[in-house]
């Protein structure tokens, strides 16, 4: 093997350093083990680079905008430079606005709040609730789950062709499913939307941590994502895209920072002139550290190189899929089929097990953290699982009401900070639990499956 080839192979195997990589947790069977965090799709661990950057800035933290002091001016520059860094990461157009929010959910609710009157919204039933639910004040068409990427495009095209009138319309679609990890045909869906005079917003919460996201290349009108899935804690989200609807609407939140001038009228009322920049929808003191953390994560991922990150993740995906394929009792959930490209997110069920019970055993007996349930994508998971209830086992699903059929799945997710050992331990644990059963007894407590003490 040449030196360059050896270096390339090593880069595929080497994870980016993250916080918590050396944390040990107790096992119910005795002893401790290094925690295997395999729930990246919910919240990814913070990159060490992000944490170090934030720690270096923390002593200089100050108020943002309009402060005369040195720390205030420094913090303002840092905040606005973070905005520019993230816009570059997303390959935004020159006239796009980038607004800091609290999360993907907040970003999409903001967009829902600025929709023009009589706007029609088209959204697949397969979306995360963050994309599925914010459009309550619009005329919404919920589209059936497609079974191929081509069917997704054809379904949207037909729905848009049959819509009432020629007023404003918006399509909301995920880039990568938070349930199956499968990649959606975003560029083709954007082309279909624009062909019918509609706009499109991309929920990139699960895509941005794993693949490059280019607003221009994908030709989407807006993109939304969350810092906490992009290895950046502190609760910041982003909405970036076309400015016209954002400028025309009333501010998402009314308050300081969103207003340019406020005056009293002669009749005693208040007159407000709102900003037309991103500040219009960023009322209140901004989350400077959160914005800086997202920008730091964007820089770290860019410098690591998405080609390298994607290659390494495919290596981990192949390990997990090959290991699960050796266990006949395991069924991996999929919309588009086994060969569909995906990010490091897989959901599955195990014959003879309730998924909550299985996930609890992975945690308590092996120190492996996964997610169980319906993953805030209830219509999609119910479609994938069908109507057959799982074995109740010793614990039920957290979403199941008393007497309700238990219907839930297990999700394993990983990314740039995951070492090979974690996915190898996970595959081994699945095999052992299916073969030998749990070593401990479990019960339902406060809606969760927990070890019995």
CA–CA distance, 36 with 395 (Å, rounded to integer): 23
Q: List, by residue number, the catalytic residues.
A: 376
CA–CA distance, 453 with 440 (Å, rounded to integer): 9
Print pLDDT tens along the chain (453 aa).
233 333 343 444 568 999 999 999 999 999 999 999 999 999 999 999 999 999 999 999 999 998 889 999 999 999 999 999 999 999 999 999 999 999 999 999 999 999 999 999 999 999 999 999 999 889 999 999 999 999 999 999 999 999 977 899 999 999 999 999 999 999 999 999 999 999 999 999 999 999 999 999 999 999 999 999 999 999 999 999 999 999 999 999 999 999 999 999 999 999 999 999 999 999 999 999 999 999 999 999 999 999 999 999 999 999 999 999 999 999 999 999 988 999 999 999 999 999 999 999 999 999 999 999 999 999 999 999 986 555 556 777 666 655 556 689 999 999 999 999 999 999 999 999 999 999 999 999 888 899 998
Q: What is the largest CA-CA distance in the chain?
A: 82
Q: What is the pTM of this model?
A: 0.93
Q: How big is the CA angle at 432 (ends 431 and 436), to the nearest 5 degrees?
A: 125
CB 276 within 8 A of CB 247: yes
CA–CA distance, 131 with 123 (Å, rounded to integer): 8
CA–CA distance, 78 with 234 (Å, rounded to integer): 16
CA–CA distance, 425 with 420 (Å, rounded to integer): 9
């Amino acid at each position: 093997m040449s030196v360059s080839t050896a270096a390339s192979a090593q880069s595929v195997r080497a994870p980016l350093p993250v916080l918590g990589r050396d944390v040990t947790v107790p096992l119910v069977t005795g002893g401790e083990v290094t925690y295997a965090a395999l729930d990246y799709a919910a919240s990814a661990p913070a990159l060490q680079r992000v944490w170090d950057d934030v720690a270096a800035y923390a002593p200089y933290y100050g108020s943002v905008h309009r402060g005369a002091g040195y720390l205030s001016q420094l913090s303002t520059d840092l905040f606005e430079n973070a905005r520019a860094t993230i816009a570059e990461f997303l390959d935004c157009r020159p006239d796009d606005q980038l607004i800091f929010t609290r999360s993907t959910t907040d970003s999409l609710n903001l967009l829902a709040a600025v929709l023009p009157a009589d706007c029609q919204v088209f959204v697949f039933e397969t979306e995360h609730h963050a994309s599925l639910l914010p459009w309550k004040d619009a005329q919404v068409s919920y589209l059936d789950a497609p079974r191929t990427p081509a069917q997704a495009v054809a379904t949207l095209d037909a729905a848009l062709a049959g819509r009432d009138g020629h007023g404003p319309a918006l399509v909301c679609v995920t880039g990568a499913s938070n349930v199956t990890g499968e990649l959606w045909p975003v560029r083709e869906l954007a082309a279909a939307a624009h062909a019918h005079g509609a706009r499109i917003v991309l929920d990139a919460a699960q895509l941005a941590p794993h693949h490059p996201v280019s607003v221009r290349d994908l030709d989407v009108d807006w993109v939304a994502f969350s810092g906490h899935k992009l290895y950046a804690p502190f609760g910041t989200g982003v909405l970036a895209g076309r400015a016209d609807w954002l400028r025309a609407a009333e501010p998402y939140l009314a308050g300081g920072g969103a207003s340019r001038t406020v005056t009293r009228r002669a009749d005693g009322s208040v007159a407000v002139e709102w900003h037309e920049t991103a500040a219009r929808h960023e009322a209140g003191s901004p989350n400077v550290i959160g914005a800086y953390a997202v920008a730091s994560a964007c820089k770290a991922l860019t410098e690591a190189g998405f080609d390298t990150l994607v290659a390494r993740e495919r290596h981990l995906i192949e390990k997990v899929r090959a290991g699960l394929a050796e266990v006949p009792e395991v069924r991996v959930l999929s919309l588009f089929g086994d060969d569909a490209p995906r990010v490091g997110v897989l959901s599955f069920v195990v014959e003879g097990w309730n998924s909550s019970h299985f996930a609890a055993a992975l945690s308590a007996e092996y120190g492996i953290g996964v997610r169980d349930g319906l993953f805030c994508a209830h219509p999609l998971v119910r479609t994938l699982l069908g109507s057959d209830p799982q074995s109740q086992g010793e614990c039920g699903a957290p979403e199941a009401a008393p007497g309700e059929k238990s219907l839930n799945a297990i999700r394993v997710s990983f990314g740039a900070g995951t070492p090979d050992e974690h996915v190898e331990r996970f595959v081994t644990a699945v095999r052992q639990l299916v073969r030998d059963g749990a070593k401990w007894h479990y019960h339902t407590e406060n809606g969760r499956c927990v070890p019995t003490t």
